[in-house]
Structure 1
Amino acid sequence: MPYTPHKPPLAESSEDLRARIPGWGADADRADRPSVPRERFDPTFAGAHWEHPDRQPEKWPRERSVEHTRLPPVFGTTCPPAGLSGTVRKLAYARYSEGQAAHWLLLIAADRVDAVESALRSMLTLRPDNPITQTGVQAEVTHHGLRSRLRHDRADVKHHWMDPFIVGAPWALAVVLVVRTVRRVRRLA
């Protein structure tokens, strides 16, 4: 409020507010609170019926941080660590603390290794992933991608020029490696 020569109005009293606004101050008087009859205050009762919760069975050795002596009572089991990425994840948890950059860098590297493993696994199946339709490149052409990318209210406009390289470079690198391998095999044969 700007400074003026006039005195600002004083705050209304609780009685005036309660008379003007229905339900105002319901937490001020316990008799006005609708849940009071159901509330019982017992400082010794915490609400839990156990001292320690039942532990989820551990079906395989789970990765856990070196700071903790045991796993929490419930933990995720949907993606057990497997392959080279699983080995890298286990190394990150077994050797480095969560406070060290090496721990997190190894986990990031494990995610990248997992992406490569998934791509290789896909290429070995009868129905490999389609990089054109499953990376969103086709949507750029069919669903006005350029027009939506050039709007100036987007926060990611600065790195749009990198997106084709980030998405396409691994596939182009894979093609180059396959071509070189095929040429080398032909020369040896």
Structure 2
Amino acid sequence: MTDARIPTAYTPDDRKPRETAEQLRARIPGWGADLDPNDRPSYPKLRFQEDLSGAHWQFPERQPEKWPRERSIEHAFVTPVFGTAQPPKGLSGVIRRYSYAKYSEGRAAHWLLLILADRVDAWEHHLASFATARPDNPITETGVRSEFTHSGFSSRVGQKRTDLTHQWLDPVIVAGPWVASAWGTFRGVRGLVRAVRS
């Protein structure tokens, strides 16, 4: 026997006949508003056209190229629509263009060069930030300070975290380039001062 408190839609012995379209329309305001295809704003696009295999265009309108876009050598031309938010520039742009012009997407060299270009692009932005009023701060922006203020050590000890195996690399990857850059700058300035004095 079915409990009256349980909706019959959730019981296996639900034998109540389904409501007709007219009953649903009378009970639910606006029900079935899109039943008639002629009332659907999108319906003309859904009509199959024999001569165009269902598409409403022969070839999509192409987005204009404001600069030569990089594309894989497997493709005859750039896709009709593409992003323009980050145009390639500087050394990273040269690396990206070389990767697309020289290697197929099936080659590891293609992707390794793109990863290298991303790293170079990050450093280009780091260096450019020093010409602004608010240069990058490696202590706060790389998460080094949070290691000491937000339980960095205790969150790793005894937690069986998978990232513990490579955590020794983190200081090298994060701080290494900054330390190397600072050391190189120091050596360069010191050499310049010595050259001026002599």
Class of the TM-score when normalised by the shorter of the 2 chains: 0.7 to 0.9
Q: Within 2, Cα distance between the matches of 1:43 and 1:78?
A: 36
Q: Choose which of 143, 151, 155 in structure 2 pairs with 1:136.
A: 143
Q: Choose which of 39, 44, 66 in structure 1 pairs with 2:73.
A: 66
Q: Within 2, Cα distance between the matches of 1:144 and 1:92?
A: 42
Q: Which residue number corresponds to residue 100 of structure 1?
A: 107
Q: Does 1:183 align with 2:190?
A: yes
What percent identity do the matched residue pairs reach?
Answer: 52
Which segment drifts farther, 80-89 or 91-100? 91-100
Q: Which residue number corresponds to residue 175 of structure 2?
A: 168
Q: Measured at CA, do residues 43 and 22 of structure 1 come closer, stay the same or move farther in structure 2, by a change above 3 Å? A: farther
SS in 1 for 2:60: coil
CA contact (8 A) 2:47 2:54 kept: no
Q: Within 1, Cα distance between the matches of 2:157 and 2:83?
A: 40
Q: Choose which of 77, 80, 88 in structure 2 pairs with 1:81.
A: 88
Q: What are structure 2's unaligned runs of at least 5 residues?
A: 1-10, 17-31, 38-42
Which segment drifts farther, 141-150 or 123-132? 141-150
Q: Within 2, Cα distance between the matches of 1:42 and 1:186?
A: 77
Q: Measured at CA, do residues 187 and 153 of structure 1 come closer, stay the same or move farther in structure 2, by a change above 3 Å? A: same
Which AA in structure 1 matches 2:190? R
Which segment drifts farther, 176-185 or 139-148? 139-148
Q: Within 2, Cα distance between the matches of 1:138 and 1:91?
A: 38
TM-score (norm 1): 0.74
Q: Within 1, Cα distance between the matches of 2:81 and 2:15?
A: 45
Give 1:48 shift: 3.0
Q: Within 1, Cα distance between the matches of 2:116 and 2:136?
A: 22
Which AA in structure 1 matches 2:187? R
Which segment drifts farther, 91-100 or 78-87? 91-100
Q: Choose which of 154, 159, 164 in structure 2 pairs with 1:157.
A: 164
CA deviation profile, 1:83-126 (whole Å, cap 9, x unmatched): 01101111111122112222222212211211221111112222
CA deviation profile, 1:155-182 (whole Å, cap 9, x unmatched): 3121112211211111111111111112
Q: Which residue number corresponds to residue 91 of structure 1?
A: 98
Which AA in structure 2 matches 1:143? H
1:19-38, aligned counterparts within 5 Å? 20=13
Which segment drifts farther, 50-59 or 145-154? 145-154
